[in-house]
Amino acid sequence: MMKNPFCVRGRTIVVTGGGRGIGRAVALHLAGQGARVFICGRSVVPLRETCEMARGDGLHMDHFTVDVADTDDIERAFHDLHAQDIRIDALVNNAGMEELRPAIDADEALWDRIVDTNLRGAFFCALHVARGMQAGGAIVNLCSLASAVGIPGAVPYGASKSGLLGVTRGLATEWGPKGIRVNAVGPGYFRTEMTEPFFHDEKWRETMMARIPLGRFGEPAELGGIVQFLCSDAAAYVNGQILYVDGGFLAAI
């Protein structure tokens, strides 16, 4: 029987920011496809809740804590995994944060908080994972529409996500010869805890809905299959790319 190239069964996949929102949905999807999933984040409570959800569905999932804005903590967390002889086959860099504020009112603390989490954290997570990753490994970075277009009130966020796309392409060219693929996913508008402030604005909802050809916002679970594809052998020749999952938003501009 021909092997299913989309299969991730038996692969060890780490999902950062896996306790909430998109990270939780992606982690549950990958676990449902038979992957050995480790989720991580700063707060242990949502991580435990996600693992309990997985167990409720008869799936296995582990968790560990890490603050991706702290490079020392990243080193500690992934050293612990390596010390347990856990070989990571794929990393999903999902941990991120956003805070809306007019650029004229932005300060250094806001910039550091967002950029350290979304950009620097993703880079150093990838770095520590890649050191022990074998050929055939995959890294998937969660970028954003802000990697392609400007969003008023979200300049530090846009800078971090544009930078993450640059990191994706740079690492793809540097690590491709080692057999490690690095790609990105650019979600459109998905309702999560982080994006909830947008959805409180009725005028914003109506404006965005009118610009999405599919006529609806995305559901976090709809990103699971895309991430699975990029982690699987079906994407064996996909490297340095970003797949926008936005209902056609960018195509319609």
Q: What is the pLDDT of residue 38?
A: 98
CB atoms within 10 A of CB 179: 13
Question: pLDDT tens-digit profile of 117-144?
Answer: 999 999 999 999 999 999 999 999 999 9
CB 230 within 8 A of CB 242: no
Quickly state the pLDDT bin for 193 (edges 50, 70, 90): confident
Question: pLDDT tens-digit profile of 76-113?
Answer: 999 999 999 999 999 999 999 999 899 999 999 999 99
Which regions of 4-113 does DSSP assign to beta strands (E)? 12-16, 36-41, 61-65, 90-93
Both tokens of residue 194? 């982080």
**Hey, which residues are catalytic here?**
157
What pairs with residue 211 in β-bridges?
Answer: none
CB 115 within 8 A of CB 158: no
Instruction: State pTM to two decimals.
Output: 0.96
The residue whose two tokens read 């995994």 is 81
Question: pLDDT tens-digit profile of 7-17?
Answer: 999 999 999 99
What domains, with CATH codes, occur in the chain? 12-252 (3.40.50.720)
Q: What is the pLDDT of residue 58?
A: 95
